[in-house]
Amino acid sequence: MAVPSFKIGEDMVVGFDRAKILELVDHRLIECEECGAKLRVPIDKGNLKVTCPKCKHVFDMIPQK
């Protein structure tokens, strides 16, 4: 049975270690409050005003690390 591995930056994650992967990536996936479209947002930019590219809804987001 194969074990998944991920290269994130200079780090290699072997197996599906969700905590380690979330620690290494610099973004999160969120859903638009209006249409449910998935959006990729940075976590290192502070509070954000997000505009959905699909429906143009604008909302505030505080990134969670």
User: How many CB atoms lie under 10 A from the CB of residue 47?
Assistant: 8
- The low-confidence residues of the chain, meaning pLDDT below 70, are 1, 64-65
Angle at 53 between CA 44 and CA 21, to 5 degrees: 35
- Which residue in this structure is represented by tokens 């409050």? 33
pLDDT at residue number 32: 93
Alpha-carbon span 8 to 65, nearest angstrom: 16
pLDDT at residue number 39: 93
Q: Domain locations in the chain?
A: 5-61
pLDDT at residue number 61: 86
pTM of the predicted model, to two decimals?
Answer: 0.61
pLDDT at residue number 60: 92
Alpha-carbon span 54 to 7, nearest angstrom: 30
